[in-house]
Chain A
């Protein structure tokens, strides 16, 4: 059934709408998630829903300011770089866990050590083990964190991956201790959890002042998992839900046109691009090993129309794997405007006047990938789409069987090109260009904290990548939010919605 039909039928009946639980009178915001919250412990999940929840319930030493791209002290009042691999964090006074116990340096040290411990099986540990050496209490307010080597994303990793846990929270290594009973440090505390269905949060009155996070406008936030967008729509119309995110563009626009709902669009840090087998991993003589062919493919895709008609909202065409305002991206690279004629000339020059066939493995946004294939067909190139789950794509990628594949990278909302190094480093199976220079530049940029030097290295690398058309960048995602009209919500600059900042009108 079409959403429009659903909306039309529902609007007729608005006058008899169901009395709402989610409203200003109860000071309860009901937020609908399309996916489930599996655990209260953000260390054991990588889902977007858990990131949103963890932002409300857990504070870290530092917090990314999406406006400035800087890391502000959170549990840490301040931090100091001792040298290029050591940072001293000074804790605030009077900070406490939701159970009222104070946050101490022992808790911080325990958190680092638990996450870095392989036996803890956290989903975050693998991100910090590459650089983490030690966390040591210097005095009762200072923790010294040391890296094995200079690592420019140290603060990012601490802000995103090192969620603070009370010392001994996991007992003798019981990894699911906090799955259902959670004691955090964030502006909201958990008062109810129905695994996979709902989480009830209450504003934490003991939250510290002066931190980077808003202390929370609304008393109670109720997170519900509603997997079907038709049902979310009905709940919004009947007053059962106030807010939702990741809403498909067509549904968001239809809902936004109604008097009782608003549609807000903002950027997502996620970018979508194709990785082309330039190195000939699958076939040393394959057409994609020819730079002219790769340039032709880049000219053949009409990014503007894809963004206008299929991505919508705040999406934008891209020529590099970069977000707006991201560190390392301030460089002008070769741009491939939509030009099928030029693409066909390049193909002819490369020895493929009649085009060729290749296999394109994808896992997201099939309609968009079909549009890309249709654009390529216009120049005689047949992209046979093999649309699979991400896990299947990863398995094929690990076996070196992908001629070309789609990827959508979210950067963990990090405004730094270093967060996508995966596609450019030697030994990574996501790197299908094997360009030693590019690999070297990206490696060097990850081993220095000198930002000027890093910027220069990234400029060289991005220029080469674009000139050689190793990738086929397509678009940056849009994030659609729909909320009831009695709610004030601003789309975040980094794509991570902060429900503590939502307020009633």
Chain B
């Protein structure tokens, strides 16, 4: 297992490096960072001075390896746009995104799992149809639209929650519902399908014949096995949510990592974008390894493999 984890980690670092290099090249080849730092109304002289001042006139490979060398010593550089160390920016913005991710994941798992299990208890019954309809609707509704509708309903018409901002727990309720809802259909469908399959299997029939109580059968025997594919999906969802949702953070004016990434890309703030891409890539790698470990814990057969 340790060998497997180390192998995955090494592979992950190589992926993070490649993604970072690609981002660096794309940003530098497609845009002139000096003009962004200088501003829209900067004169030609000002742009050229800033190009030299910030070292944008040096060859790309020199700048890239300089960045890699600095990262190796824990220095992620300074943001041109925010005039701050990039690492400080990430630390400053992360709590908002972590809160949003935790809240929205709770919504996704809570609603998706519950409806999935209930729907599987009586396939094609009214509850199953209701759950599937809800899942289809959740999948079809764009985030920004749902966000605005919730703002109108619960922020303006019935002012229960604040419209925007991130200074109290109340500010996170609407965004968590919006972000969480978008992933509900996947979890719901996978749970439902898995449960229907598992509930029809021999060992469940045996368990019933042995006189186990329905609740025991459902939660101890069926759900644990039905969860295997769901765990993988949830792991990926955690990655997406930790990466920040640009749309949800924008609509609700949340000051998280998604907005930081968006603003940095618009501002051609190469050090910040580099750092974020590297960070997001690492998150996905770590999570996919964790997903594998979790699956192995849930299903002993995978440990052997």
- Which A residues contact B (CB, under 8 angstroms)? 1, 6, 9-10, 12-13, 16-19, 36, 38-39, 41, 44-47, 118, 121, 123, 125-127, 129-130, 175-176, 179, 194-197, 224-228, 230-231, 234-235, 237-238, 240, 389-392, 394-395, 398, 408-412, 421-422, 425, 427-430
A18, B32: Cβ atoms closer than 8 Å: no
Once the chains are docked, how many angstroms separate the CA of A225 from the CA of B38? 22
Once the chains are docked, how many angstroms separate the CA of A240 from the CA of B253? 13
Question: Which residue from chain A places its CB closest to the CB of B49 in the assembled complex?
Answer: A126
A237, B156: Cβ atoms closer than 8 Å: yes
A234, B155: Cβ atoms closer than 8 Å: yes
Complex A-B: 5 CB contacts under 8 Å: A10-B152, A13-B158, A46-B40, A230-B151, A390-B35
Question: Which residue from chain A places its CB closest to the CB of B28 in the assembled complex?
Answer: A395
Once the chains are docked, how many angstroms separate the CA of A231 from the CA of B30? 32
**Which residues of chain B in 73-105 are interfacial with respect to chain A, using CB atoms and an 8 Å cutoff?**
78, 81-85, 89, 92-93
Q: What residues on B are CB-neighbors of A225 within 8 Å?
A: 253, 255
A228, B35: Cβ atoms closer than 8 Å: no
Instruction: Given A197-B255, A391-B32, decide whether A17 and B156 contact each other with a Cβ distance below 8 A.
Output: yes
A126, B157: Cβ atoms closer than 8 Å: no
Instruction: Given A1-B148, A16-B158, A179-B83, decide whether A126 and B251 contact each other with a Cβ distance below 8 A.
Output: no
Instruction: Given A195-B82, A392-B31, A409-B41, decide whether A127 and B46 contact each other with a Cβ distance below 8 A.
Output: yes
**Which residues of chain B in 259-277 are interfacial with respect to chain A, using CB atoms and an 8 Å cutoff?**
259-260, 263, 266, 268
B83, A394: Cβ atoms closer than 8 Å: no
B53, A121: Cβ atoms closer than 8 Å: yes
Once the chains are docked, how many angstroms separate the CA of A230 from the CA of B147? 10
A123-B38, A231-B148 known, 18 other contacts, Cβ within 8 Å = A9-B157, A18-B155, A39-B83, A47-B39, A126-B50, A127-B42, A176-B83, A194-B255, A228-B144, A228-B250, A230-B148, A234-B155, A238-B155, A240-B164, A391-B30, A391-B31, A412-B41, A430-B44
Once the chains are docked, how many angstroms separate the CA of A231 from the CA of B164? 7
Cβ distance A10 to chain B, nearest Cβ, rounded Å = 5
Cβ distance B174 to chain A, nearest Cβ, rounded Å = 11
Q: Is B68 an interface residue (CB 8 A)?
A: no
Q: What residues on A are CB-neighbors of B231 within 8 Å?
A: none
Q: What residues on B are CB-neighbors of A18 within 8 Å?
A: 155-156, 159, 162-163
Once the chains are docked, how many angstroms separate the CA of A412 from the CA of B42? 9
A46, B39: Cβ atoms closer than 8 Å: yes
A392, B49: Cβ atoms closer than 8 Å: no
Q: What residues on A are CB-neighbors of B255 within 8 Å?
A: 194-197, 225
B40, A390: Cβ atoms closer than 8 Å: yes
Q: What residues on A are CB-neighbors of B53 within 8 Å?
A: 118, 121, 126
Q: Is B45 an interface residue (CB 8 A)?
A: yes
Residue interface mask B34-58, A partner, CB < 8 A = 1? 1111111111111101100110000
B44, A45: Cβ atoms closer than 8 Å: no
A9, B152: Cβ atoms closer than 8 Å: yes
Q: What residues on A are CB-neighbors of B78 within 8 Å?
A: 176
Once the chains are docked, how many angstroms separate the CA of A410 from the CA of B36? 15
Once the chains are docked, how many angstroms separate the CA of A39 from the CA of B78? 13
Once the chains are docked, how many angstroms separate the CA of A394 from the CA of B218? 63
Q: Is B33 an interface residue (CB 8 A)?
A: yes
Once the chains are docked, how many angstroms separate the CA of A36 from the CA of B254? 11
Instruction: Given A176-B83, A391-B35, A411-B41, decide whether A224 and B253 contact each other with a Cβ distance below 8 A.
Output: yes
Q: Is B125 an interface residue (CB 8 A)?
A: no
Residue interface mask B127-169, A partner, CB < 8 A = 1? 0000000000000000011001101100111110011111000
A231, B163: Cβ atoms closer than 8 Å: yes
A238, B163: Cβ atoms closer than 8 Å: yes
A389, B31: Cβ atoms closer than 8 Å: yes
Q: Is B252 an interface residue (CB 8 A)?
A: yes
Once the chains are docked, how many angstroms separate the CA of A83 from the CA of B203? 99
A195, B253: Cβ atoms closer than 8 Å: no
| Residue from A12, A121, A125 having most chain B Cβ neighbours under 10 A | A121
| Residue from B34, B152, B159 having most chain A Cβ neighbours under 10 A | B152
Cβ distance B39 to chain A, nearest Cβ, rounded Å = 3
Question: Which residue from chain B places its CB closest to the CB of A396 in the assembled complex?
Answer: B32
Q: What residues on B are CB-neighbors of A429 within 8 Å?
A: 44
Residue interface mask B273-287, A partner, CB < 8 A = 1? 000000000000000
Q: What residues on A are CB-neighbors of B45 within 8 Å?
A: 126, 130
Question: Which residue from chain A places its CB closest to the CB of B92 in the assembled complex?
Answer: A195
Question: Which residue from chain B places its CB closest to the CB of A238 in the assembled complex?
Answer: B156
Instruction: Given A126-B46, A391-B35, decide whether A38 and B41 contact each other with a Cβ distance below 8 A.
Output: no
Q: What residues on A are CB-neighbors of B82 within 8 Å?
A: 38-39, 179, 195-196
A395, B30: Cβ atoms closer than 8 Å: yes
B164, A235: Cβ atoms closer than 8 Å: yes
B152, A227: Cβ atoms closer than 8 Å: no
Cβ distance B164 to chain A, nearest Cβ, rounded Å = 5
Cross-interface CB contact of B251 among A121, A231, A240, cutoff 8 Å: A231
B156, A391: Cβ atoms closer than 8 Å: no
Q: What residues on A are CB-neighbors of B259 within 8 Å?
A: 36, 196, 227
B253, A226: Cβ atoms closer than 8 Å: yes
Question: Which residue from chain B places its CB closest to the CB of A20 in the assembled complex?
Answer: B159
Cβ distance A309 to chain B, nearest Cβ, rounded Å = 25
Cβ distance B31 to chain A, nearest Cβ, rounded Å = 3
Once the chains are docked, how many angstroms separate the CA of A390 from the CA of B145? 29
Question: Which residue from chain B places its CB closest to the CB of A389 in the assembled complex?
Answer: B31
Q: What residues on A are CB-neighbors of B40 within 8 Å?
A: 46, 390, 408, 410
| Residue from B30, B34, B157, B255 having most chain A Cβ neighbours under 10 A | B157
Once the chains are docked, how many angstroms separate the CA of A230 from the CA of B155? 12
Cβ distance B22 to chain A, nearest Cβ, rounded Å = 17
Cβ distance B21 to chain A, nearest Cβ, rounded Å = 19
Question: Which residue from chain B places its CB closest to the CB of A177 in the assembled complex?
Answer: B83
Q: What residues on A are CB-neighbors of B251 within 8 Å?
A: 228, 230-231
Q: What residues on B are CB-neighbors of A412 within 8 Å?
A: 41
Q: What residues on A are CB-neighbors of B30 within 8 Å?
A: 391-392, 395
A38, B31: Cβ atoms closer than 8 Å: no
Cross-interface CB contact of B163 among A235, A394, A421, A428, cutoff 8 Å: A235
B54, A123: Cβ atoms closer than 8 Å: no
Once the chains are docked, how many angstroms separate the CA of A409 from the CA of B40? 8
Once the chains are docked, how many angstroms separate the CA of A147 from the CA of B53? 22
Question: Which residue from chain A places its CB closest to the CB of B52 in the assembled complex?
Answer: A118
B163, A44: Cβ atoms closer than 8 Å: no
Once the chains are docked, how many angstroms separate the CA of A442 from the CA of B233? 64
A395, B31: Cβ atoms closer than 8 Å: yes
Question: Which residue from chain A places its CB closest to the CB of B39 in the assembled complex?
Answer: A46
Cβ distance A311 to chain B, nearest Cβ, rounded Å = 18
Cross-interface CB contact of A6 among B47, B84, B93, B148, cutoff 8 Å: B148
Q: What residues on A are CB-neighbors of B84 within 8 Å?
A: 39, 176, 179, 195
Once the chains are docked, how many angstroms separate the CA of A196 from the CA of B45? 29
Q: What residues on B are CB-neighbors of A430 within 8 Å?
A: 44
Cβ distance B246 to chain A, nearest Cβ, rounded Å = 10
Question: Which residue from chain B places its CB closest to the CB of A180 in the assembled complex?
Answer: B84
| Residue from B30, B41, B85, B165 having most chain A Cβ neighbours under 10 A | B41
